[in-house]
Amino acid sequence: MISIEELHEIGEFEQVMALFEDIWHFGPAGRPITPELMLALAHAGNYVTGAFDGERLVGASVAFFGADATLHSHITGVLNCPGAGFALKLHQRRWALERGLRRITWTFDPLVRRNAHFNLAKLGARPEEYLPAFYGVMDDAINQGDEADRVLAVWPISDPRVEALVSGPRSPVPVPPDAVVALADDGGRPVPGRADAATVLIAVPEDVERLRRTEPGLAKSWRYAVRETLGDMLAEGRKVIGFHDKSYYVVEKA
- Report how far residue 74's alpha carbon sits from residue 66's, in angstroms, rounded to the nearest whole number: 11
pLDDT score, position 135 = 78
Nearest Cα neighbor of 106 from 140, 46, 155 is 155
pLDDT score, position 145 = 61
**The CATH number, out of the four listed (3.40.50.300, 3.40.630.30, 3.90.25.10, 3.40.50.11540), of the domain defined by the range 2-167:** 3.40.630.30
Give residues with Cβ within 8 angstroms of 49, minimum separation 6: 4, 5, 6, 7, 60, 61, 88, 91, 92, 95
**pLDDT tens-digit profile, the chain (254 residues):** 899 999 999 999 999 999 999 998 887 667 889 999 999 999 999 999 999 999 999 999 999 999 999 999 999 999 999 999 999 999 999 999 999 999 999 999 999 999 999 999 999 999 999 999 887 665 554 555 667 899 999 999 999 999 999 998 888 899 999 999 999 999 999 999 999 999 999 999 999 999 998 999 999 999 999 999 999 999 999 999 999 999 999 999 97
pTM for this predicted structure: 0.92
Domain extents in the chain: 2-167, 180-252
Nearest Cα neighbor of 130 from 155, 154, 157, 151 is 151
pLDDT, tens digit, 9 for 90 and up, residues 236-254: 999 999 999 999 999 999 7
Check: CB of residue 125 under 8 Å from CB of residue 159. Answer: no
pLDDT score, position 146 = 66
Tell me the H-state helices in the chain: 10-24, 35-43, 84-98, 113-116, 160-167, 208-214, 216-226, 232-236
pLDDT, tens digit, 9 for 90 and up, residues 196-243: 999 999 999 999 999 998 999 999 999 999 999 999 999 999 999 999
* Amino acid at residue number 54: G
As a three-state string, the secondary structure of 72-137 is EEEEEEECCCCCHHHHHHHHHHHHHHHCCCCEEEEEECCCCHHHHHHHHHHCCCEEEEEECCCCCE
pLDDT score, position 139 = 57
pLDDT score, position 134 = 86
Given strand 103-108, what is the order of strands in its sheet? 2-6, 47-53, 56-66, 70-78, 103-108, 150-155, 126-131
Burial, 215: exposed, middle or buried (Cβ in 10 Å; 0-12, 13-18, 19+)? middle
pLDDT score, position 1 = 86
